[in-house]
């Protein structure tokens, strides 16, 4: 980006951010924008009006109502899109990967039961997680929070990235049931795909029997089941087709097996991973099964993903497969638009890429009230400084349920604190200065001069003559070898480049 464009973007951001943030009850009008509604063509010089947390009008012929808080973008420089929707990550459940105390996405025990259908992400979601605000600064306004580990990790929750309490943030609990037939889930089920599929079939059969003979189960009138009662209960909506079953799977052959399994049990399937989905894209399109793809997965990190390629998303979309784009985990959600931009780089239509991170995930895992800018929809949207798939673009305003949320995170706070090191306070205010530490003000200036301890031999000489009758201060004869108490002075090392230097 040229210096002129950088200056213009900075001035634009300063102008927009100078206005007071809006609450959900305010009427806000974004004018002079390029509108990308998510499910239609871009609209130049458009206006979007927000009231009571919802979009009331959007288009080129819309005017800002009287009394509205107007955000004007000069020369159509701003771009408005629906807020991005992330899927398949334990956002709000995991803070530090290597610290178990900060993880609520899976049981800590290594030998935990791999069947955890009753494990609900909604019960562990923390809206105060530092990763929530970091993800939001990437343009995300909603996320499908997903548990991890085991063959059946549990159920996910749809959340908006706003609100101070779980009740305020969670849109819907137990939105989808998750199954892992990728490397991790297969290992948890015994280490081989036949064992994992056999175990999964056993779980589904037990749940089907429980649903048909619940009264008999309560009277202990059915055979012993291999799944707990709470897991059996949580599996019922999936068997009835009321919630999607998200199956993580990689190889083409395994994808076909999962499609057959879904037809056998009447499951509403969504496939995630699908690194070799391009090989069976016609079958996926015929089944109308949505897929979740990470565009930057192109290396055969395991045997399961040996068929990975950059244009996987493009080939699937061109075949008519419903496409959702994703990132690799909770810490990388802020890179969702970068993943989408790379999918465009490898042939995906930009409009399809935008749908894959807005409309499609919002409709597959929600009620369609998010992911699109239209009258009556939830006002989750982002005002960008330019093309959201360009890394030089940034969010200027982010609205979550109509609330203009702060563009701050732990990362921006640390940046502001340490951007000028001259003004950073040293030390720990209020801590007692211990002996030998000196005055705290010395930290700002030069270090105090160190006191040199007197030489014991010098003190002895100063007290009087030595035993051999020498006067204090007399030097020993030049030909006298130094004693053990007075070590010989080491010769200085030769300068670099002098003869004898090693």
What pLDDT, on a 0 to 100 scale, did the predictor assign at position 224? 92
What pLDDT, on a 0 to 100 scale, did the predictor assign at position 498? 43
Are 149 and 188 in contact by the 8 Å Cβ rule? The answer is: yes
What pLDDT, on a 0 to 100 scale, did the predictor assign at position 24? 57
Torsion 51-56-60-65 (CA) sign: negative
269-273/245-249 β-pairing: parallel
Pick from 360, 282, 301, 369: nearest CA to 326: 360
User: What whole-number distance in Å separates Cα of residue 218 and Cα of residue 140?
Assistant: 45
* 3-state SS record for 367-378: CCCCCCCCCCCE
The list of the chain residues with pLDDT below 70 reads 1-25, 75-76, 426-502
Distances (CA, A) of 383 to 139, 323, 394: 9, 24, 9
Specify which residues 178 forms β-bridges with: 154, 246
What pLDDT, on a 0 to 100 scale, did the predictor assign at position 302? 86
The DSSP annotation for 172-227 comes to: EEEEEEEEE-SHHHHHHTTSSHHHHHHHHHHHHHHHHHHHHSHHHHHTT-SPPPSS
The structural domains of the chain, ordered by start, are 1-83+371-425 (2.30.40.10), 84-370 (3.20.20.140)
What pLDDT, on a 0 to 100 scale, did the predictor assign at position 97? 85
Q: Which 3 state secondary structure label does DSSP give 271?
A: strand
Q: What's the whole-model pTM score?
A: 0.79
Nearest 10 degrees: Cα torsion 375, 381, 387, 390: -150
For residue 273, which phi and psi values (nearest 5 degrees)? 90, -80
């Amino acid at each position: 980006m040229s210096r002129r464009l950088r200056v213009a973007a900075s001035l634009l951001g300063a102008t927009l951010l100078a206005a007071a943030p809006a609450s959900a009850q305010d009427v806000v009008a974004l004018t002079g924008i390029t509108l990308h509604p998510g499910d239609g063509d871009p609209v130049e010089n458009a206006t979007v009006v927000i009231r009571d947390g919802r979009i009331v009008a959007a288009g080129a012929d819309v005017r800002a109502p009287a009394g509205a808080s107007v955000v004007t973008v000069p020369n159509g420089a701003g771009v408005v899109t629906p807020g991005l929707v992330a899927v398949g990550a334990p956002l709000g459940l995991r803070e530090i990967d290597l610290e178990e105390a900060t993880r609520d996405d899976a049981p800590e025990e290594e030998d935990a039961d791999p069947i955890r259908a009753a494990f609900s992400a909604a019960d562990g979601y923390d809206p105060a997680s530092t990763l929530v605000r970091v993800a939001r600064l990437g343009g995300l306004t909603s996320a499908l929070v997903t548990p991890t580990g085991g063959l059946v990790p549990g159920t996910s929750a749809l959340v908006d990235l706003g609100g101070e309490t779980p009740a305020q943030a969670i849109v819907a609990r137990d939105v989808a049931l998750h199954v892992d037939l990728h490397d991790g889930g297969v290992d948890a089920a015994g280490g081989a795909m036949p064992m994992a599929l056999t175990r999964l079939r056993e779980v589904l059969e037990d749940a089907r029997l429980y649903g048909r003979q619940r009264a008999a189960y309560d009277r202990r009138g059915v055979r012993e089941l291999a799944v707990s009662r709470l897991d059996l209960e949580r599996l019922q909506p999936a068997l009835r087709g009321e919630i999607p079953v998200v199956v993580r799977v990689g190889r083409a052959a395994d994808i076909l097996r999962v499609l057959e399994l879904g037809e056998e049990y009447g499951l509403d399937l969504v496939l995630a991973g699908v690194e070799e989905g391009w090989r069976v894209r016609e079958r996926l399109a015929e089944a109308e099964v949505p897929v979740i793809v990470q565009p930057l997965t192109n290396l055969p990190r395991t045997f399961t993903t040996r068929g990975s390629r950059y244009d996987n998303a493009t080939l699937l979309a061109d075949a008519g497969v419903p496409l959702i784009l994703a990132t690799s985990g909770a810490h990388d959600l802020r890179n969702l638009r970068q993943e989408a931009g790379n999918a465009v780089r490898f042939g995906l239509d930009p409009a399809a890429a935008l749908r894959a991170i807005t409309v499609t995930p919002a409709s597959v895992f929600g009620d369609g009230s998010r992911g699109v800018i239209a009258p009556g929809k939830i006002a989750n949207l982002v005002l960008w400084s330019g093309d959201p798939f360009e890394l030089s673009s940034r969010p200027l305003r982010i609205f979550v349920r109509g609330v203009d949320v702060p563009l701050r995170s732990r990362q921006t706070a640390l940046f502001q604190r340490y951007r000028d090191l001259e003004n950073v306070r040293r030390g720990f205010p209020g801590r007692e200065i211990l002996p030998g530490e000196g005055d705290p003000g010395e930290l700002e200036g030069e270090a105090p001069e160190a006191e040199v301890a007197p030489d014991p031999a010098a003190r002895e000489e100063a007290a009087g003559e030595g035993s051999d009758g020498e006067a204090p201060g007399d030097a020993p004869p030049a030909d006298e070898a130094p004693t053990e108490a007075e070590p010989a002075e080491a010769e200085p090392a030769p300068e670099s480049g002098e003869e004898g230097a090693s």
